[in-house]
Structure 1
Amino acid sequence: MILVLTCLDDPTADMVISHLNRRGASVARFDPGADFPADVELSAWFSACSSRGVMTTPSRRIVLEEVRAVYYRRPTPYLPDCPSQVERFIGSQARFGLGGVLATLPCPYVSHPWAITAAEHKPLQFVIARRVGFEVPATLITNRPEAVRVFAAIHAPIVYKPLRATPYTGSDGGLTIIWTVQVEPDELDGTVRHAAHLFQARVDKAADLRVTVVGDRVFCVRIDSGLLDWREDYDCLSYTVVEPPPGLADGCIAYLKALDLRFGAFDFALGKDGTPVFLECNPNGQWGWLEDATGLPIAAALADLLLEGAT
């Protein structure tokens, strides 16, 4: 039994499940944040000598001791946006009850949710990236206008990027994403005090590298766009499958091991001198569009990793 935890509309997970099904694996998929407790029943027992549990969905009975691997993709959060008091209580109990039970399954995860949560913190990413030998741009996290003005004077041009991608509602009522943008000195005013901000020296880049790592398999794609943040406009991107620069593959694998991850989507700026500069690693990043564009067998590699853990 391979357990896939993700939301209903997840075509990326569908790609992996398709490979697993073709190979005859027994796959159970459900969304803990959306399906429990309305459509899923859980009972878990803990004693001095053993633990066991059963989940029942509308179509499956899952004996938790028989789960041999877990693919943790994009499940719905346990807590809804702006929850009521009752919803907050139910969501918290689900997170620490069902979520706690699932997190204790004695099998391999791709990747464990607690490891993913830790690895999403940018300061930790920068520390580990330097530890494994990656070049990291000069970076400042602050809410002091004076500090960022000094930083800008030393490292200009600088860019701003959010510490975590957080969609918000724009003036037109639609969801908006804050992309990486260059910051000019006259924009550094007192509003800096209102939150923690991440400022970074802008890399003089020739292109970007998206490096997707599955276990010990490394897939490296050069992205040419001319954009500061290539995510702004996928229509203007061109992709080239390339060999990783020397030392990059080993560094990525070492990075994942340091954070107890089995998957990572790395972003590097490729300097004009050919040096890859670490920008970030999304421990649960998207890759489906990249497989569609390049033919790289990322879904098959994830299926291999899950089946390897299930043996």
Structure 2
Amino acid sequence: MLVVTMIDDPTADLVIRELHGRDVPVVRLDSGDFPATLSVAATITPHGIEGTLTTPTRTADLSRIRSLYYRRPSGFAFPHLDEQNARFARTQARYGLGGVLASLPGCLYVNHPHRIGDAEFKPSGLTAAVTAGFQIPRTLVTSDPDAARAFIKANGPVIYKPLSTPLYRNGSGVSCTVEVREVVAADIDERISGTAHLFQRRVDKIADARVTVIGDQVFTVRIESGLLDWRTDYDQLTYTPVQPPPGLTSSLYRYLREFGLVFGAFDFAIDRDGRWWFLECNPSGQWAWLEPETGLPMVSAMADLLERKKTR
């Protein structure tokens, strides 16, 4: 079993502990450790890729990896090189080590890094959601201030949300992300033209739902908060395991098939009429914090999937 993630990943810690308890051999690595404390020697053969990945404490035989849990590895870094050489080295590492990790024969990926990349594009996710049968809020992606103002006037109330969530640090060095918030037409100025932005009609919601699909198992949790974005204050949240509404599960799997995923963390807004509105699916989303809050056996389900006891 191969687990690829950063050093500070409590979710991966829980899964690895469960696998160790089952006597499953696990090699954990962070691709960002390459080449300082991680090395690769891979040969392309008629049978696929053979060779080894070596960390300070483990060696993984590439031909014997049954499953790869790809979480949140850190990026490649070459601080000892000048900018031009560092750019070259990062590119070689990405296409070399990254290419090896993405090409293991017979391996179950949870999820495949290329499929994760495809699914992280919000316009692609919303389009796939419509195809899968979900309801989505009316959405605009634009760099045109006039188009943004017209959309807000026609569809208000409207929220702004980032198309991706790069890490920012405030003046005190504390990490933060761009806020999801309601906007009005008067908020829009020419700065909109500087890049792409996502605007979406605000759902008049009474609750949220996080639906986590792990292989053949679906874990549905209703989240009460009263917040526009429940992720801004976990102390205010109340969790209740619920059954998904009729037809939702089949749509979940249609969505995952569209991207070739076996895991997904789906977010929905539940309106006053009981309708579930698709907001997004994170192919590398967090989920383990829900187990102690709800008693749902999610860590065990992930270990089952990685052991290939159950796959869809």
Same fold flag (TM > 0.5)? yes
TM-fit CA distance, 1:95: 1.1
Provide Cα deviations, 1:215-236, integer angstroms capped at 9, x if missing partner.
1211000000100011111111
TM-fit CA distance, 1:167: 2.1
Mapping 1:80-229, distance limit 5 Å? 84-106=83-105, 107-229=107-229
Provide Cα deviations, 1:122-173, integer angstroms capped at 9, x if missing partner.
0110111000110000000001011011111110110000000122233444
Letter in 2 for 1:22: G
Corresponding residue of 1:59: 57
Instruction: Classify 1:50/1:236 alpha carbon distance in 2 versus 1 (closer, same or farther; 3 Å).
Output: closer
Instruction: Classify 1:83/1:108 alpha carbon distance in 2 versus 1 (closer, same or farther; 3 Å).
Output: farther
Provide Cα deviations, 1:236-256, integer angstroms capped at 9, x if missing partner.
111111111111122112111
Letter in 1 for 2:295: G
Asked if residue 24 in structure 1 is aligned to residue 31 in structure 2, the reply is no
Corresponding residue of 1:266: 266
- TM-score relative to the length of structure 2: 0.94
Instruction: Classify 1:184/1:251 alpha carbon distance in 2 versus 1 (closer, same or farther; 3 Å).
Output: same
1:213 and 1:263 in contact (8 A); partners too: yes
1:69 and 1:306 in contact (8 A); partners too: yes
In structure 2, distance between residues paired with 1:300 and 1:49? 33
Which stretches in structure 1 are left out of the alignment for 5+ residues? none
Corresponding residue of 1:241: 241
2:207 and 2:222 in contact (8 A); partners too: yes
2:212 and 2:263 in contact (8 A); partners too: yes
Letter in 2 for 1:45: T
Mapping 1:247-286, distance limit 5 Å? 247-286=247-286
2:119 and 2:283 in contact (8 A); partners too: yes
Provide Cα deviations, 1:186-212, integer angstroms capped at 9, x if missing partner.
101111111100000000001000000
Q: Secondary structure at the match of 1:86?
A: helix
Corresponding residue of 1:46: 44
Letter in 2 for 1:181: R
Corresponding residue of 1:7: 6
TM-fit CA distance, 1:179: 2.2
Q: Secondary structure at the match of 1:152?
A: helix
Q: Secondary structure at the match of 2:100?
A: helix
In structure 1, distance between residues paired with 2:22 and 2:112? 24
In structure 2, distance between residues paired with 1:7 and 1:134? 33
Letter in 1 for 2:44: F
Asked if residue 291 in structure 1 is aligned to residue 291 in structure 2, the reply is yes
Letter in 2 for 1:54: T
1:216 and 1:253 in contact (8 A); partners too: no
Deviates more, 1:196-205 or 1:82-91: 82-91
Deviates more, 1:281-290 or 1:89-98: 89-98
2:78 and 2:89 in contact (8 A); partners too: no
Instruction: Classify 1:141/1:6 alpha carbon distance in 2 versus 1 (closer, same or farther; 3 Å).
Output: same
Corresponding residue of 1:301: 301
- TM-score relative to the length of structure 1: 0.95
In structure 2, distance between residues paired with 1:92 and 1:265? 30
In structure 2, distance between residues paired with 1:66 and 1:159? 48
Deviates more, 1:40-49 or 1:68-77: 40-49
In structure 2, distance between residues paired with 1:94 and 1:201? 41
% identical aligned pairs? 50
In structure 2, distance between residues paired with 1:186 and 1:238? 35
2:48 and 2:104 in contact (8 A); partners too: no
Q: Secondary structure at the match of 1:192?
A: helix
Q: Secondary structure at the match of 2:307?
A: helix
In structure 2, distance between residues paired with 1:119 and 1:211? 16
